[in-house]
């Protein structure tokens, strides 16, 4: 991309030349005012033209002779006044003019490239080529990176035929994989609306909602899991998330029953069995509270993503503050991720940030109570 610098240099050179061009002309030539300019461009010329106009109007009968006379008198008065004013000294010739022009040339030669390069250097990206849509699609296909290209194509297709449920079904999990959680939720919603309920898609939809909620099983997600379970009572994902929901609500008894039922019904080689056993152990207090972030079907990548979201929320709240609900969500998320120390820190931060206003603190305290965090941390913070 060195060519671009040649183009820049050329443009700058042309701009400076354009500025210097009038100064290169001989002063005598430039000082001689053309005929038309002499007429209008000075005040006396203006009034002379006005006088001529009055004569023309009078000749055409637009102006009665006595009035034309009055107008002539008026214009002539102004012409007289204008011509009495001293003219300006002409500064076009001589040594000072030459020096002035040299200074001006130096100014143009230095300022123009300096300012342009400084500003462009600060904000430009000279190494980045243009990437028109068509070219980018071709590139993506050639490089075998068709996932993004495929997404764009499906999106284009769906924009034309938004009632194609299969398209949305294909797109939704891809969105989730790309980290576009909100888009995934919308795609699942469209797919469910058009193709009707299906236990697998309902469970995936719930999972996307959980991902959007930083690991919290919202009532909307719970509703989706319950609907899935109604159609397929053996589905694993809904069972697991409903147990998780009960656990998050502080309903330990129900959570334990659900985990236990899953563990009992599971085939011994089920990959998700250890996770359920861990959860059980955590509930019974026989293991440290290290809950895995999400359910069996979510990989390490997803977990990292959720953790990233929570950390992002924590940072934003710490820097800019937020609503009581956001603080409550942060505390809950840390507990769900099994990060008790961070949850405690967040709780303390929330109490400071919300400034001891009992009304505003209520949702945070509620979560603290539910997660069993309130007593210990509260005792420390209480006066």
Distance in angstroms (rounded) separating the CA atoms of residues 126 and 99: 38
Establish if 123 lies at the interface with other proteins (CB under 8 A): yes
Distance in angstroms (rounded) separating the CA atoms of residues 22 and 76: 36
Distance in angstroms (rounded) separating the CA atoms of residues 331 and 126: 45
Cα 77 to Cα 10, 46, 50, distances in angstroms: 55, 13, 12
Q: How far is the CB of 38 from other proteins (least distance, A)?
A: 10
**CB closer to other proteins out of 159 and 379:** 159
Candidate ranges 58-66, 244-252, 273-281, 317-325; the one touching other proteins (CB under 8 A): 58-66
Helix residue ranges, H only, the chain: 3-24, 27-31, 35-40, 43-60, 65-84, 94-123, 133-142, 146-160, 165-178, 181-195, 199-212, 219-231, 236-248, 252-265, 273-284, 300-320, 324-336, 340-353, 358-370, 374-381
Establish if 111 lies at the interface with other proteins (CB under 8 A): yes
For other proteins, what does the binding mask look like between residues 137 and 176, x meaning CB under 8 A? ---x-------xx-xx--xx-xxxxx--------------
**CB closer to other proteins out of 128 and 264:** 128
Distance in angstroms (rounded) separating the CA atoms of residues 92 and 98: 9
Interface residue with other proteins, options 108, 260, 281, 287 (CB under 8 A): 108
**CB closer to other proteins out of 66 and 267:** 66
Q: Of 241, 267, 268, which is closest to residue 255 (Cα–Cα)? A: 241
**CB closer to other proteins out of 123 and 319:** 123
Distance in angstroms (rounded) separating the CA atoms of residues 95 and 85: 27
**CB closer to other proteins out of 58 and 263:** 58
Question: By CB under 8 A, what part of segment 180-209 binds other proteins?
Answer: 186
Question: By CB under 8 A, what part of segment 59-98 binds other proteins?
Answer: 60-68, 70-71, 74-75, 78, 82, 88-92, 96-97
Q: How far is the CB of 110 from other proteins (least distance, A)?
A: 10
Question: By CB under 8 A, what part of segment 241-300 binds other proteins?
Answer: none
Task: Spell out the residues 6+ positions from residue 281 whose beta carbon is closer than 8 angstroms to its own.
Answer: 287
Establish if 40 lies at the interface with other proteins (CB under 8 A): yes
**CB closer to other proteins out of 65 and 300:** 65
**CB closer to other proteins out of 43 and 249:** 43
For other proteins, what does the binding mask look like between residues 20 and 39, x meaning CB under 8 A? -xxx-x-x--xx-x--xx-x
Candidate ranges 42-50, 328-336, 350-358, 370-378; the one touching other proteins (CB under 8 A): 42-50
Residue 374 and residue 368 in contact, taking contact as beta carbons nearer than 8 Å: yes
Distance in angstroms (rounded) separating the CA atoms of residues 139 and 142: 5
């Amino acid at each position: 991309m060195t060519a671009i610098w040649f183009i820049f240099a050329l443009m700058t050179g042309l701009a400076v030349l354009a500025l210097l061009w009038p100064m290169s002309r001989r002063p005598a030539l430039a000082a001689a005012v053309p005929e038309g300019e002499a007429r209008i461009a000075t005040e006396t010329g203006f009034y002379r033209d006005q006088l001529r106009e009055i004569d023309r109007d009078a000749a055409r009968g637009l102006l009665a002779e006595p009035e034309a006379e009055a107008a002539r008198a008026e214009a002539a008065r102004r012409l007289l006044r204008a011509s009495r004013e001293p003219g300006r000294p002409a500064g076009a010739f001589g040594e000072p003019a030459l020096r002035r022009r040299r200074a001006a040339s130096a100014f143009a030669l230095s300022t123009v490239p300096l300012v342009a390069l400084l500003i462009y250097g600060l904000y430009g990206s000279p190494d980045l080529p243009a990437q028109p849509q068509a070219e980018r699609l071709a590139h993506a296909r050639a490089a075998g990176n068709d996932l993004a290209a495929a997404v764009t194509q499906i999106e284009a297709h769906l924009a034309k035929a938004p009632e194609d449920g299969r398209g949305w079904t294909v797109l939704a999990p891809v969105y989730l994989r790309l980290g576009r959680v909100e888009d995934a939720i919308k795609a699942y919603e469209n797919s469910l609306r058009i193709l009707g309920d299906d236990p697998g898609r309902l469970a995936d939809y719930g999972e996307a909602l959980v991902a959007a909620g930083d690991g919290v099983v919202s009532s909307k997600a719970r509703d989706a899991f319950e609907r899935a379970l109604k159609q397929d009572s053996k589905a694993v994902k809904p069972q697991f998330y409903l147990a998780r929901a009960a656990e998050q609500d502080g309903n330990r008894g129900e959570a334990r029953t659900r985990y236990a039922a899953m563990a009992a019904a599971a085939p011994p080689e089920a990959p998700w069995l250890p996770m359920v056993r861990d959860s059980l152990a955590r509930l019974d207090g026989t293991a440290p509270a290290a809950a895995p972030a999400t359910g069996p079907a979510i990989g390490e990548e997803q977990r990292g993503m959720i953790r990233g979201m929570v950390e992002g929320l924590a940072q934003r709240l710490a820097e800019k503050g937020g609503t009581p609900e956001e603080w409550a969500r942060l505390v809950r998320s840390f507990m769900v991720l099994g990060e008790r120390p961070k949850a405690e820190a967040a709780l303390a931060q929330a109490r400071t940030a919300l400034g001891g206003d009992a009304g505003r603190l209520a949702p945070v305290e509620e979560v603290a109570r539910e997660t069993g965090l309130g007593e210990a941390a509260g005792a420390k913070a209480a006066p």
